Amino acid sequence: MGSDKLTQIPTQEDDPPNPTTALLSFNTTTTHHPPRPITTTLLLVTLLLTTAITLSAALAFAFLFFSSTTAEATSSHTPISHFSRPLQKLTHPVVILVSSDGFRFGYQFKTDTPNIHRLIRNGTEAETGLIPVFPTLTFPNHYSIATGLYPAFHGIINNYFVDPINGDSFNMGSHEPKWWLGEPLWETVANHGLKAATYFWPGSEVHKGSWSCPAKFCMNYNGSVPFEERVDTVLSYFDAPSSEIPVFMTLYFEDPDHQGHQVGPDDPEITDAVARIDRMIGRLIKGLEKRGVFEDVTIIMVGDHGMVGTCDKKLIFLEDLAKWIEIPKEWVQSYSPLLSIRPPSGYSLSDVVAKMNEGLGSGKVSNGDKLKVYLKEELPGRLHFSASERIPPIIGLVEEGFKVEQKGSERKECGGAHGYDNAFFSMRTIFIGHGPQFARGLKVPSFENVQIYNLVTSILNIKGAANNGTSSFPNTVLLPCKSI
Ligand SMILES: [Zn+2]
């Protein structure tokens, strides 16, 4: 099956499209130019200037460093360590990966979130949020977090899609291993003979490698399970003897995505949902503290994507393109925000794209300038959204907050959506790492969620599978071990 095999995973290290250019640019630093004739005076002046610049830069850096560490010390009241902190009670590192679906970056300021802020204050945060992968949808992103792979490589290219090779349909209840490529964290952990526990996560019910979704440690998805019960079950794993405690656990909450779709990101319902998630984080912290393991356990709190408001005036109808080209609904695999189209064989794909864009750019199609259609190979490379047969050949990128529909209707609605270009700030979510290997009060620049896989395997000190993350990334975020 062509679409089942995982071929050539480019890591972020070899991301530049032309490896030769990349190699050359690395070489420039080590290239030795022949010395040019120069007067001693000029050399002396240059040397003095360089020294002055270096000194002032060093002083400025030292000032920034000390002023930031002072702020850190006064705000957190905890001793600063430049090395990872030794485990006090547990015999091995444990990572709890928590996902709050649709937790848009900035929601943490909607209301008082004392528990989330406790993790932020004493942990490491992506200062301007975590960048989801494209398309910024739930299943593709959760599985990118779990595998470190872009959707084109892990195979879950949408929440639902059709495999063009055999015509089989994937939906969010599909648990056959053939859909789920790559190696998710629970499988990596099981392959090392260690225990993992999943309290819901897309893909976690799929049997892969040594992971057989054991009844005791792998919950079958059921959205009606109260959040409290989920937290308490995860906490109960810590009541086992230390050697029996799973080294990796997932914990998933559907909120505030659920409310975000119905009412958009700026509604009192979102504020309530955020406050509830904060209470769940508080319940988790309290339970770990009660068991004396809070400082030993690593909590990584993330979301899968953000949310943006949509409204009935921000629509684009494919039927409005009929003057240029008819797009029957049978061609369309998904409408919005990820427009994906697979015309039957016999049609010229580039002709379809050209005619659609001609109509959209004509000024005669309502909101036509808010949608641009591409052959998938011609999408911006930063989206990493072409290297899979499962991805339909024609993809539309729609402007933030706009939606694509087949035809106009009388339906009036405002709500929220995600799935847009991951460059939009509204699609960002949160990343907070709290635990022995995370510095306290540290802010790191935003990064893509494909980096999380390597971060977790690094904390657990196990070898991970090949993925799209950067192997050196954990060194830039985690504290080093104290050398003896
Ligand atoms: Zn989601």
- Cα distance between residue 277 and residue 464, in whole Å: 30
How does DSSP classify residue 38?
-
**Rg, C-alpha atoms of the chain:** 25
pLDDT category at 80 given cuts 50, 70, 90 is low
pLDDT the model gives residue 90: 96
Q: What is the pLDDT of residues 136-184, one digit of tens each?
A: 999 999 999 999 999 999 999 999 999 999 999 999 999 999 999 999 9
Long-range Cβ contact pairs of 364-367 (< 8 A, separation 24 or more): 364/323, 365/316, 365/320, 365/321, 366/315, 366/316, 366/317, 366/320, 367/314, 367/315, 367/316, 367/402
pLDDT the model gives residue 37: 38
Chain position carrying tokens 């099956």: 1
Work out the average pLDDT over 233-250.
Answer: 97
pLDDT the model gives residue 12: 55
Q: What is the pLDDT of residues 359-388, one digit of tens each?
A: 999 999 999 999 999 999 999 999 999 999
Whether the predicted pLDDT of 3 surpasses 80: no
- Cα distance between residue 294 and residue 283, in whole Å: 12
* Contact yes or no for 315/382 (Cβ under 8 A): no
- Cα distance between residue 231 and residue 239, in whole Å: 13
Q: Taken in order 420, 363, 316, 343, is the CA torsion positive or negative?
A: negative
Length of the chain: 484
Ligand 1 centroid to residue 96 C-alpha, Å: 19
Report CA-CA distances (Å) from 235 to 26, 68, 100, 239, 419. Answer: 48, 35, 18, 7, 33
pLDDT the model gives residue 408: 84
Ligand 1 centroid to residue 289 C-alpha, Å: 29
Work out the average pLDDT over 346-351.
Answer: 97
| Mean pLDDT of the residues in the chain | 87
Considering only residues 68 and 402, tell me which one the structure prediction assigns the higher pLDDT.
402
pLDDT the model gives residue 305: 98
Nearest to 199 by CA among 221, 175, 214: 221
Work out the average pLDDT over 452-476.
Answer: 97
- Cα distance between residue 341 and residue 391, in whole Å: 9
Ligand 1 centroid to residue 478 C-alpha, Å: 27
pLDDT the model gives residue 313: 83
- Cα distance between residue 161 and residue 175, in whole Å: 14
Ligand 1 centroid to residue 137 C-alpha, Å: 6
Q: What are phi and psi of 162, to 5 degrees?
A: -115, 135
Considering only residues 476 and 6, tell me which one the structure prediction assigns the higher pLDDT.
476
Q: Which region among 31-40, 222-231, 253-262 has the lowest average model confidence (pLDDT)?
A: 31-40
Whether the predicted pLDDT of 66 surpasses 50: no
3-state secondary structure of 141: helix
pLDDT the model gives residue 109: 97
Q: What is the pLDDT of residues 286-322, one digit of tens each?
A: 999 999 999 999 999 999 999 999 988 899 999 999 9
* Single-letter amino acid code for the residue at 446: S
> Containing H/E element for 69?
helix 40-76
- Cα distance between residue 341 and residue 161, in whole Å: 11
Chain position carrying tokens 């195979």: 155
Ligand 1 centroid to residue 298 C-alpha, Å: 23
Q: What is the pLDDT of residues 423-440, one digit of tens each?
A: 999 999 999 999 999 999
Q: Which region among 71-75, 105-109, 239-243 has the lowest average model confidence (pLDDT)?
A: 71-75
- Cα distance between residue 101 and residue 103, in whole Å: 6
Nearest to 293 by CA among 478, 100, 91, 433: 91
Ligand 1 centroid to residue 418 C-alpha, Å: 8
pLDDT the model gives residue 70: 34
Whether the predicted pLDDT of 407 surpasses 80: yes
Q: What is the pLDDT of residues 40-54, one digit of tens each?
A: 444 444 444 444 444
pLDDT the model gives residue 45: 44
pLDDT the model gives residue 63: 40
Distance of CA 366 to the CA centre of its chain: 33
Ligand 1 centroid to residue 8 C-alpha, Å: 28
Angle at which helix 268-290 crosses helix 227-236, to 10 degrees, equals 20
- The fraction of the chain above a pLDDT of 90, given in percent, is 80
Ligand 1 centroid to residue 138 C-alpha, Å: 4
Work out the average pLDDT over 330-340.
Answer: 96
* Single-letter amino acid code for the residue at 2: G
Ligand 1 centroid to residue 305 C-alpha, Å: 6
pLDDT the model gives residue 411: 72
Q: What angle do CA 37, 39, 40 make, to 5 degrees?
A: 125
Q: Which region among 65-69, 95-99, 111-115 has the lowest average model confidence (pLDDT)?
A: 65-69
The catalytic residues are 138
Nearest to 248 by CA among 465, 447, 467, 458: 458
> Containing H/E element for 268?
helix 268-290
Q: What is the pLDDT of residues 261-294, one digit of tens each?
A: 999 999 999 999 999 999 999 999 999 999 999 9
